[in-house]
Structure 1
Amino acid sequence: MKIHHLNLTVTDVPATQEFLETYFGMTCRANRGKGFAIMHDEDGFVLTLMKGSKVNYPKTFHIGFPQENEEQVNKINQRLKEDGFNVEPPKQLHGYTFYVEAPGGFTVEVLC
């Protein structure tokens, strides 16, 4: 059994949607204006984004995008940095990893 669906409340649905499409290859299958979007990945995972005026996830809450290798982690890190995101270089922790604050008010981990 695997998790197939997750809903995130975000402060800015269009910006979050663009972020997930640009850096993580997710595809928007449907949306309702600026308040709701249905995203899919290549494995059929469904991520819905719902607009909320306040987003207050616990400090340790995050979603993860595993990569095939360190080179892919480095490429995403560099691209985010070049596009103005505040990202630290990847580190060897529980894997080769880094974190980035996504538009919309949540944290993303990129790792291999």
Structure 2
Amino acid sequence: MKLNHLNLTVTDVSSARNFLEKYFGLTCGASRGNGFAVMFDDDGFVLTLMRGSEVHYPNTFHIGFPQESKEKVDKINQRLKEDGFNVPPPQQLHGYTFYVEAPGGITIEVLCQ
């Protein structure tokens, strides 16, 4: 069985969409202003973003974007820092990883196993 899609509630659909496009290569297939967006990755996974006035995910909730190498993790980390995001340097934990709070209220993990 294959997971087909995931819906996330975010406070700002447009900002979250732009972030996911810029740093993780998702593409937007359709959107309705700042209320809804359908995004796709290269493997056909569908991520929908829906606007909510408040976002309350559990502290440990996040979505992950695995990378092929530590160098790619470092590159994304550096791009985020240069663009003003408060990101810690990657650490070797369960993989070479770091977390970033994306626009809209979702936490993203970038890692290499």
**Deviation, structure 1 residue 4:** 1.7
Superimposed CA distance per residue, residues 8-42 of structure 1 (whole angstroms, 9 cap, x where no aligned partner): 00000000000000000000000011100000000
- For normalisation by structure 2, the TM-score amounts to 0.98
Residue 104 of structure 2 corresponds to 104
Aligned to 2:78: 78
Using the alignment, how far apart are the partners of 2:2 and 2:35 within structure 1? 27
Number of residue pairs matched? 112
Equivalent residue for 1:24?
24
- Which sections of structure 2, spanning at least 5 residues, go unmatched? none
Q: Runs in 1 of length 4+ with deviation above 4 angstroms?
A: none
Deviation at 1:110, TM superposition (A): 0.1
The 1-side partners of 2:101 and 2:34 are apart by 20
Unaligned ranges ≥5, structure 1: none
Distance across 1 between alignment mates of 2:41 and 2:83: 22
The Cα of 1:2 is off from its aligned counterpart by: 2.5
Structure 2 counterpart of 1:53: 53
Amino acid at match of 1:35: G
Counterpart in the other structure of 1:68: 68
For normalisation by structure 1, the TM-score amounts to 0.99
Q: Residues of 2 paired with 1:106 and 1:12: CA distance? A: 10
Q: Deviations over 1:66-96 (max 9, x none)?
A: 0001000000000000000000000000000
> 1:60 Cα shift?
0.3
The AA in structure 2 aligned to 1:98 is: F
